[in-house]
């Protein structure tokens, strides 16, 4: 049995997009992909690439233009809403809730596909709700009104609700969109850990490219051409395709460093950096690059314009400075004079 055969979610030559009047817009063309149990995948692409459209198509909320999506080998559009909800959970960037709902009420809604018309939770349903709250570590949130929670707290409760559905597949559309850096990292780490421990197949769309490259088992990249690439993030980065998709005249994705660099409006010349390796040298290069200098390492036997030594920096004049701010003042002084 191949990995694709056991994958709970698969696409077969899927073309996803939307129709407006007589016009059809395709965002993903002829995509064949698989999302496997215990796999944390991140969906990437520039603004307007079609990430939300693809998510909605995978969840069966809108029809494919051609090809198909299968959940456990069955076409997603052939499944009833209840059958889909028992297999796949969807977390959207929701910001509006009924004021009377507590966090616990929201998590309990995850059991709705299993409670029948009466809506009463069984002892087993309550056990699953409690486990979902524990595994997402939101015990301190569930007694509070959902409208009183911060964006990060609310997203954690929504993930607990999704876990309470006992899904095989979880799709999350920009769950970190309104969060600060620390909460984005915490929530992404929670999702990755949950994926691996519970064996759920998880696909999360995100604009945070650098965080995705550090955490995802697999990257799903929607190219501007409509091609969908799925591979470990390191394989995608090494091809250089991220630079092609995300760089412009000022913003450059450096696949060697795995991050973005803002190009200066004008270059200030070249500086040779030598001396100690390590963290201090890394931040020295970043500061000088930000200022618009082209930085290169000083070759053996070549004098350095900036030499990293211990807790400071030595300049060609043999002057030593002990802070980045003082270093900046010295290297910028010729340009200012």
- Structure tokens of 244? 């092609």
Taking phi over 0 as left and psi of -120 to 50 as alpha, with beta for the rest, 290 belongs to alpha
Q: Tell me what the mean pLDDT of segment 255-267 comes to.
A: 69
Domain ranges of the chain: 3-233, 270-336
User: What's residue 238's pLDDT?
Assistant: 87
Q: Is a pLDDT exceeding 90 seen at residue 226?
A: yes
CA distance 259 to 245: 13
Give the sheet arrangement for strand 66-71, strand by strand.
23-35, 9-20, 66-71, 74-75
User: What percent of the chain shows pLDDT beyond 70?
Assistant: 93
**pLDDT class for 92, splitting at 50, 70, 90?**
confident
Under DSSP, is residue 186 helix (H, G, I), strand (E, B) or coil? helix
* Domain 3-233 belongs in CATH node 3.30.420.40: no
Q: Output the average pLDDT for the chain.
A: 89
Q: Read off the pLDDT of residues 157-215 as tens digits, 9 standing for 90 and up.
A: 999 999 999 999 999 999 988 888 998 999 999 999 999 999 999 999 999 998 999 99
pTM: 0.83
| Residue among 210, 194, 182, 155 nearest 42 (CA) | 210
**pLDDT for the residue 281:** 92
List the structure tokens of 109: 């809604």
For the chain, the farthest-separated pair of C-alpha atoms sits apart, in whole angstroms, at 83
pLDDT at 37 over 90: yes
Return the H-helix or E-strand segment holding 334: helix 324-336
Is the pLDDT score of 337 beyond 60? no
Q: pLDDT digits over 11-26, tens only?
A: 999 999 998 888 999 9
pLDDT in tens, 132-154: 999 999 999 999 999 999 988 99
Span 288-318, pLDDT tens digits: 988 888 899 998 888 999 999 999 999 999 9
Residue 136's pLDDT is 92
Rg (CA), the chain: 25
């Amino acid at each position: 049995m191949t990995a694709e055969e056991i994958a709970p979610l698969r696409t077969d030559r899927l073309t996803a997009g939307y129709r407006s009047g007589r016009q059809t817009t395709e965002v993903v063309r002829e995509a064949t992909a698989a999302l496997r149990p215990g796999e944390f995948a991140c969906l990437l692409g520039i603004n307007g690439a079609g990430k939300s459209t693809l998510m909605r198509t995978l969840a069966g909320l809108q029809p494919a233009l051609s090809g198909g999506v299968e959940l456990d080998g069955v076409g997603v559009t052939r499944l009833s809403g209840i059958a889909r909800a028992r297999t796949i959970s969807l977390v959207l960037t929701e910001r509006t809730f009924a004021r009377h709902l507590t966090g616990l009420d929201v998590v309990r809604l995850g059991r709705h596909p299993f409670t029948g018309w009466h809506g009463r939770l069984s002892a087993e349903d309550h056990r699953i709700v409690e486990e979902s709250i524990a595994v997402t570590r939101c015990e301190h949130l569930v007694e509070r009104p959902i409208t009183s929670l911060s964006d990060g707290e609310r997203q954690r409760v929504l993930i607990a609700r999704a876990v309470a559905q006992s899904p095989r597949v979880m799709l999350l559309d920009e769950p970190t969109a309104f969060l600060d850096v620390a909460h984005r990292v915490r929530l992404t780490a929670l999702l990755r850990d949950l994926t691996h421990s519970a064996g759920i197949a998880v696909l999360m769309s995100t604009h945070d490219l650098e965080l995705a490259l550090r955490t995802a088992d697999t990257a799903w990249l929607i190219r501007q051409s409509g091609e969908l690439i799925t591979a470990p993030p390191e394989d995608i980065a090494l091809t250089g395709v991220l630079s092609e998709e995300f760089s412009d005249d000022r913003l450059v994705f450096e696949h060697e460093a795995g991050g973005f660099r803002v190009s200066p409006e004008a270059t200030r010349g070249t500086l040779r950096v030598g001396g100690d390796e390590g963290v201090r040298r890394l931040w020295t290069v970043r500061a000088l690059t930000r200022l618009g200098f082209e930085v290169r390492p000083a070759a053996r036997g070549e004098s350095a314009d900036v030499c990293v030594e211990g807790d400071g920096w030595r300049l060609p004049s043999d002057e030593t400075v002990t802070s980045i701010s003082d270093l900046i003042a010295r290297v910028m002084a010729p340009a200012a004079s």
